[in-house]
Amino acid sequence: MSTDGSSKDATRLRKVFRVGEFLIAYTSSFRMGQILQYHLEVRHQQDGETDERYMVVAFVEAVRKCLKEQGYSRIESNQEQGGCFLVGYRGRLYSVYGDFQINSSITGVAAFGAGQEYALGAMSALESYLPPLDRIQKALQISAQLSCAVFEPFYVEVLG
């Protein structure tokens, strides 16, 4: 779904895709997503390099370079800005924020976009009631019910 806040357009473009070992899901700019999907190249993780170091040093730096080379990133008040998206890597979910910081919540749950608060609330409330894939589907349905900017179809991918 794409929206400008007052109108919406259901799109054929998926906002979740694989790039090598990574599963990426994005919000906001389709251009950012397309750049990540078709231009992002990340070196392989080195022996002895922790996943966290790899994500900060290799992955995020490759994203910064890619977005800059493709004319997407911008500098405001001497701070580089990109976009927000989620990354699955080696069984862990990472959040990448607009300033390129990276986080991995101890809950193992994260969301971005117009239905973010609804999805996070639903995931938390349903944690002990539903298995993960069912929780995700229900959280998406609840987000669509409560947010005018969330709309089906939903695509769910599993990292594995």
137 lies in a domain? Answer: no
CA gap 131, 12 in Å, rounded = 28
Residue 19 forms part of a structural domain: yes
Distance CA 17, CA 102 (A): 19
Q: Containing domain of residue 70, as a range?
A: 2-107
| 15: in domain | yes
Assigned domain for 142 exists = no
Residue 52 domain-assigned (yes or no): yes
How many structural domains is the chain composed of? 1
Residue 136 maps to a domain: no
Q: Is residue 121 part of a domain?
A: no
Residue 137: pLDDT band by 50, 70, 90 thresholds?
A: very high
pLDDT more than 70, % of the chain: 100
pLDDT of 85-118, one tens digit each? 999 999 999 999 999 999 999 999 999 998 999 9
Residue 159 in any domain: the answer is no
pLDDT digits (tens, 9 = 90+) for 45-64: 999 999 999 999 999 999 99
The pTM assigned to this predicted structure is 0.91
Q: How confident is the model at residue 153 (pLDDT cuts 50, 70, 90)?
A: confident
Mean pLDDT of the chain: 94
Q: Report residue 123's pLDDT band, with 50, 70 and 90 as the boundaries.
A: very high
